[in-house]
Structure 1
Amino acid sequence: MDDSRNLMVADTRSRYRLLSQSTVWWIGAAAACLGLLLLTVILSLVAQNGGAIRHGNKPQVCLMECENLVYNLTKDKDALRDERDQLRINASNLTKAIEVLQSQYNTVSASRDKLQEDVRRLNVSREDQLCPQGLMPFNNKCYFASAKGAAKTWEDSRKDCLERRADLVIITTKEELDFVTNLCSRTWIGLSDTQQEGKWKWVDGTDLVGVGNWHTGEPNDIGNEDCVEISPSDGKWNDVPCTEKLSWICMVP
């Protein structure tokens, strides 16, 4: 009976030992499963949070870039506005400067015109003062035209001029030629070749410069023509005998 009891006890202990080992295994397995499940959850949470962080950074980066763009555009706008304002100031200054210059120009022009008029009056006055009574001023010279119908030889005409402290007219410019041509009809001028045939000289001793203002075919010295007359129609010259009687023009240099 004791032996049977011992066998029962041993069998019970063996069963208890097997049950304990099985329980421990299941507990270990359950713990392992729980650990794996927890790790999976943790990894999942980490992955979700990481994605959220990553996705959350994109709007923030975009916002920062937009803010930088707006800042740069604002700076550019301000710079352009300042440049525009400066250009307006420069344009205003230039306009004022132009107005000042225009005013100065108008003043100078008015002064110039007044001075020119004063000079003209002074020249006229000077010519009037330079020319004795009965003589006409022209280009700072004085002229005398013989009376209408009066006529003298070339020598007598010159004598009359010398008595007036003048001499027969010397023509050296186109303006002077036109002036003399309009004074009277056929008239003596102070040109001759009495000293040397073909050597035309003015009464002041100077030689005729250039070809002169002769009529076509003149001078031809037909009949000892040593003195020169001027035609009133065209101002052309012609050599005629010095003894011919014509009107004359005197000139005071």
Structure 2
Amino acid sequence: FTTSFHYPVPARYSFLTRSRRWLVPALVLAVVLVLVLAFGVNSAGLSSRISSQEDTVSNLSLSLSSARRDSVDTAKDVQRLRFSVESNKDQLSSVAESLKELAMVQTLSKAVASLRCAVDRLIHNRTDVKGCCPLEWESVESSCFYFSRASLNWHDARDWCHAHQSQLLILTDDKDWDYMRSHVGDTFYWVGLTDEGGKWEWVNGTPYTIDHCAHIHSDGRLNDKHCSEPERERQSKFPPHRLYF
């Protein structure tokens, strides 16, 4: 026969046993729930970041497209400018050739005028020919100019000019200044300007608002110098029709 022994189990032990049986699944479920929640939160953040990156990429694409269009427009502008430059080069070359031809014509005109004066001197057997500058004088438009190689004081230079029906140079405009600056070099020349009367004025009595007598240097500036000091004179001769600088 079979004999069975049954031991009574207290009620609280029975409850603990049942509780332990459900504890592990509950913990697993809780962990899974926490993981799901964490994944959901991370997924939401990741989605937000992805959306932000997509917006950034979209903006970059738009910027790139705009930059490409601008690049194409710039290339067209460069091409137009290049064509314009080439066209201007041709025009400038044409202008340069015209200027060369004009300079040649002016040179020939001066040569013809000089030759005509030389012929007139030979025909009339005299150096003073009407309408021509004297020998060693330079013709500039309607006036005759002479650069002296002698060193004289201002008064002697003025008297020399008077003896040759001329006067020390009077500078009236920028053209005269530019002409003198291009011819005087490193040499000082007397001009027709003095303040011996107490104020600056040209030898023709015209006032000038700029001590002593004046001479001009290679940079075109006038400088005051005592009138008794020797210096080369610079005269402008009365032209044939009696106009003068």
Shorter-normalised TM range: 0.3 to 0.5
Compare CA radii of gyration and give the structure with the larger one: 1
Query: Please, what TM-score do these two structures have when normalized by structure 1?
Result: 0.43
